[in-house]
Amino acid sequence: MANLQGKVALVTGAASGNGRGMAVRFAEDGADVVIADIDEPGMEETARLVRQQERRALVRRCDVSSKADVDALISAATSEFGRLDIAVANAGVVESETDCLRMTEEQWARTIGINLTGVFFTLQAAANAMIEQGRGGRLIAIASIMAEWGSAGAPAYCAGKGGVKQLVKSFAQAVGHLGITCNAIGPGFITTQMTRGMRDNPAVERMLIDRTPVGYIGDPVDVAAVAAFLAGDDARFVNGTIIFPDGGITAGNYSGAMREAREAAQ
């Protein structure tokens, strides 16, 4: 485990899924945690899990597509805890009926507003707070394997996540000399609410598992483990890159069924 004793971590989109997983992992590793989301009951449950680790939790409602909300979030974090060491821009959405030919202007704006603009606002506000403190810090943005792929059914989601992959490179150059690193995490298919629709379809779930070389779908703890590494001292020389906890699905055109067929033919 990373040693985050005495550190303060902030996670947006922390009411469930990967955000909750990262918030709890940071608490397990010794950090106090700022929990931000628009789902207030979900945030309270995450806070309960953080406090179970005997760490402090601050719950704050925040719409990351609003710069005013994000600025107020960072201000509340530093006012409450006196410092900010780790900031994870995790909040994101994926909408249905958003294919390339039918997606509306409103759907595009909402997805980009949260998944890309919201990440920028979070990284910018957190970076400025860390610079003012003068103690360095860790900026982490949640991208996706869709930063590497396209999807006819989710053009804004892919564009936003591809933008996040590029955005961390810019921040890495802007603040690296100040002891602040900025990296992205690109999860594969993880057992969260966002992937439930796919996992509820047995044929789609079998396809996802078949495409993943390790042979199973990941859990939020797998994403949290990468976040804990990037948040700790062991990642001090990791900057401006993206790590994919995806079971190998971005490694290439893999199929478990085809592998079994080849092995049977030998």
The pLDDT assigned to 1 comes to 67
157 classed as catalytic: yes
> Taking the mean position of all CA atoms in its chain, how far away is CA 65?
16
Q: Of the listed 157, 171, 189, 244, which one is catalytic?
A: 157
Q: Which residue has the tokens 């042979």?
A: 215
pLDDT score for 95: 82
Average pLDDT for runs of 10 along the chain of length 266: 91 97 98 98 98 98 98 98 98 89 95 98 98 98 94 94 98 98 96 74 85 93 98 98 97 83 81
What gap in Å lies between CA 51 and CA 33, rounded to an integer?
Answer: 9
Give residue limits of the domains in the chain: 8-190+218-252
Query: Any idea which fold 8-190+218-252 has?
Result: Rossmann fold (3.40.50)
